[in-house]
């Protein structure tokens, strides 16, 4: 149970148990072969959630943190989690680069990640863009028709660009190439200065979720995320 919950390898879990750091229903358990069938398990006093229990979270990613487990890229999104959540095998469904803020989904459900991120699903993601420079008169049409980016073999999928005044725009993508929004604007002669993702599928970033905060994803919110992921 400890290893499947992502807290330790099987060898490390046996050591934790021998050290008396694991309790079952309030009593220290030193038997590594003890079967767990619904009992309350704690490690160092912290509850251990069943590895079979799916957990999903929505986060408001702030600028300046990386969507990575690599400590060389710190500070990381996972540094914003409390210790108990850092022990879970949470993964990000659709990363954002360090300088992009906005809606992130963290989950232990690999199938959920696949349905949100696989290119064949064409899940829509909306970005609020601030940029410097001028876009061409046909920028909306170019995004709709697809842009061949430097280093890519195929043009981008049709995207929806809406201009919102000088230096501001909204872009809806249905794919997730590396730094795609920044590269598309660069190809059109402008430079992105701020980028924020505020919607994935039909789910908006909760307006009361502060930068750096997260909360459990409600079942109706999960349904919104999946509503466009079966295309």
**Span 169-209, pLDDT tens digits:** 999 999 999 999 999 999 999 999 999 999 999 999 999 99
Report, as an integer, the average pLDDT of 80-84.
86
Is 84 a residue whose pLDDT tops 90? Answer: no
- This prediction's pTM: 0.79
pLDDT digits (tens, 9 = 90+) for 100-125: 999 999 998 888 888 899 888 899 99
Are the C-beta atoms of residues 174 and 124 closer than 8 Å to each other? yes
Catalytic annotation present for 97: yes
pLDDT at 180: 98
Strand-pair category, 190-200 with 100-107? parallel
Q: What is the CATH number of domain 124-200?
A: 3.30.70.1560
pLDDT bucket at 226, cuts 50 / 70 / 90: confident
Is residue 92 within 8 Å of residue 67, measured between CB atoms? yes
Annotated domain spans of the chain: 10-47, 56-119+202-226, 124-200
Distant-in-sequence contacts of 147-152, Cβ < 8 A, 24+ apart: 147/184, 147/187, 147/188, 148/187, 149/177, 149/180, 149/183, 149/184, 149/187, 150/183, 150/187, 152/177
CATH number (3.30.70.580, 1.20.1250.20, 3.30.413.10, 3.20.20.10) of 56-119+202-226 reads 3.30.70.580
Residue 23: partners with Cβ closer than 8 Å, 6 or more residues away: 29, 41, 42, 45
Q: Do domains 10-47 and 124-200 have the same CATH topology?
A: no
CATH class as words, domain 10-47: alpha beta
Question: Of residues 97, 109, 111, 204, which has the active-site annotation?
Answer: 97
- The pLDDT mean for the chain works out to 92
């Amino acid at each position: 149970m400890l290893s499947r919950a992502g807290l330790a390898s099987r060898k490390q879990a046996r050591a934790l148990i021998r050290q008396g750091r694991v309790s079952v229903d309030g009593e220290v358990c030193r038997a590594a072969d003890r079967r767990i069938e619904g009992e309350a398990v704690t490690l160092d006093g912290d509850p251990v959630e069943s590895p079979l229990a799916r957990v999903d979270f929505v986060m408001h990613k702030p600028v300046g943190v990386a969507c990575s487990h690599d400590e060389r890229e710190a500070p990381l999104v996972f540094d914003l989690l409390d210790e108990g959540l850092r022990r879970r095998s949470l993964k990000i469904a659709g990363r954002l680069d360090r300088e992009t803020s906005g809606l992130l989904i963290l989950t232990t459900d690999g199938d959920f990640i696949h349905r949100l991120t696989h290119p064949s699903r064409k899940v829509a993601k909306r970005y609020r863009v601030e940029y410097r420079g001028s876009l061409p008169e046909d920028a909306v049409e170019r995004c709709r028709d697809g842009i061949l980016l430097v280093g890519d073999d195929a043009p981008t999928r049709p995207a929806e660009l809406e201009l919102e005044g000088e230096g501001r725009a909204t872009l809806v993508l249905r794919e997730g190439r590396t730094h795609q929004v920044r590269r598309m604007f660069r190809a059109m002669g402008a430079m992105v200065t701020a980028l924020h993702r505020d919607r994935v599928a039909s789910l908006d970033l909760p307006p009361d979720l502060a930068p750096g905060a997260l909360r459990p994803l409600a079942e109706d919110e999960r349904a919104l995320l999946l509503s466009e992921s079966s295309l």
